[in-house]
A and B are shown apart, each in its own frame.
Chain A
Amino acid sequence: MDAMARLLITRREAVLAGAAALSASALPAPAAALGQMDTAIRNVFGEATIRAGKVTLDLPPLVENGNTVPMTVSVESPMTKDNYVKAIHVFNDKNPQPNVISLKLSPRAGKAVIATRIRLAGTQKLTAIAEMSDGTLWSGTEEVVVTLAACLEDLP
């Protein structure tokens, strides 16, 4: 049983390490290889370091109708005067425009959670980036599978 557990753990660790290696190699890619989302993120934040973590994007993994997709973004932060979330930006990879929503927060918010409904033109990746009061940037990413795409359909 011990051997089995060890096997499972090593497998999980291997998968995690693989994922980490992937995202690490994806970040410093040359400009030519960047998707629209990464380009948009670089346009907003420049070359600043964006670390993964603290940000949770809550989206249904499978969406039937891309016209209204419920999305919740939450950021781990005490939201005190000295340590709070200043701004959150959400980006997409496949819509005609890479921005989804941008918002400003203050310590008055109490907690850094916001929910809204968005449109998704196809199966894609979404990234939310939180800018903290100390200037650090944190990101969270989520994959969504969309059956019926929004935005691009023509009128009947």
Chain B
Amino acid sequence: MTARALINVPRKAKRGDVIEIKTLISHVMESGFRTGTNGKTIPRDIITSFACTYNGEEIFATQFYPAVAANPFVTFYTIATDNGTLAFTWIGDNGFEVTQEAKIVVE
């Protein structure tokens, strides 16, 4: 399954700065509460969890429910500590899993 994920992390930051991270991933987030044309309920297909690690250490983790809108968009903050990689992982129903990375330079 291909899903487009957009991640916005500042390329450079000063050590100790609080940086804003914005993420957006394309996903229908089918709630499982809607009825299709055949009268049957459309099965649930959502992203259930999203996490971010900074050089391997988990800095942010969420659990999504069907009440999260399609194409989940999350903005959160973290302290720039070191040069390195931020890895973002989305896991969902039907084996959905996307991981994407972003690099940051900390001065």
Contact = CB atoms under 8 A, between A and B. Distances in A.
B72 A116 contact: yes
A69 B78 contact: no
B76 A109 contact: yes
A146 to B, nearest CB: 12
A22 interface: no
A119 to B, nearest CB: 5
Interface string A142-156: 000000001111111
Contacts, number: 110
Contacts of B81: 108
Among B57, B58, B63, B65, the one with the most A-chain Cβ atoms within 10 Å of its Cβ is B65
Contact of B34 (A92, A104, A155): A155
Interface size, B (range):
20 to 34
Contacts of B70: 67-68
Nearest to A106: B59
8 contacts: A97-B33, A102-B65, A104-B62, A108-B79, A114-B74, A117-B69, A119-B31, A155-B42
Contact of B77 (A113, A120, A151, A156): A113
A100 interface: yes
Contact of A97 (B18, B67, B75, B78): B67
Contact of A96 (B62, B66, B68): B66
A100 B61 contact: no
A153 B34 contact: yes
